[in-house]
Structure 1
Amino acid sequence: MNSASGGEERPPDPTTAPTGSLPHVTQEAQGDAWVVTVVGAFDLNSVSALSAALETGVRTHSTVVVDASGLTFADSTVLNLLLHFHRKAVLRVASPASPLARVLALTGADRVLDVRATVADSIGG
């Protein structure tokens, strides 16, 4: 259908992509916290954007919150990344979707990481 307009096909916009199709990260300051929102599947091949966002948060804020409610897949790469940044700053994991919640529970990381029910709970202290 794009040929009728004469334009090139554009890649999908990750902000409107259906959950699970394209992993993407957004980040913003909310109060005194840096909130990193992850959507989609994250593994060794896609974790670099998450790592960069967490690094920015650690450099600029005392508290970093990962909103994991839109996460559709997480492997040991994601777990190791969270544990790494947990040692560098106050890191809170908010509303982990079932794939991450399962990894956290199976490994016992849910007893090491500060897991909160919501982003608001995580920002509030």
Structure 2
Amino acid sequence: MSANDHAPTQLPVITAKGDLDADTLPSLDAELRAAVTTASGVILDISDVTFGDSGFINLLLRTHQDTELRVVGLGPPLDRLFRIVGVDTILHIFPTVTHAQGARQ
């Protein structure tokens, strides 16, 4: 066995920005679905998201059920929403993309 046999697989990174609601979620959903067709999981960077509604939470939970979803960059105002809804205890949340890439699957 070579050292590369144990090298972590790099997951695709999708960056979401702005408000995530009924108008913007279909394109994010399509990006996530496309990413997981060729990878064992996906990293979603939400550090530039300013708003997320219940549809966004549902999208995260669906994606989490379908694949290895790693969420990066949780901060205000979404951190409060995640705590209130309880998804902060369900989702795999990391401070940075580097941390998410380095985590074991």
TM-score above 0.5, yes or no: yes
Unmatched runs of 5 consecutive residues or more in structure 1: 1-30
Residue 97 of structure 1 and its aligned partner are, at CA, apart by 3.0
Q: Does 2:60 match 1:71? A: no
TM-score, structure 1 normalization: 0.72
Whose relative contact order is higher, 1 or 2, with alpha carbons under 8 Å and at least 6 apart? 2
Percent of aligned positions with the same letter in both sequences? 36
CA shift, 1:99, in A, is: 2.2
CA contact (8 A) 1:70 1:97 kept: no
So what's the TM-score if we normalise by structure 2?
Answer: 0.85
- Structure 2 Cα separation of the partners of residues 48 and 97 of structure 1: 23
Greater share of helix: 2
1:119 aligns with 2:105: no
Query: Where do 4+ consecutive residues of structure 1 move more than 4 Å?
Result: none
Counterpart of 2:39? 61
Alignment of 1:1-125 (within 5 A): 32-125=10-103
Structure 2 residues not aligned, in runs of 5+: 1-8
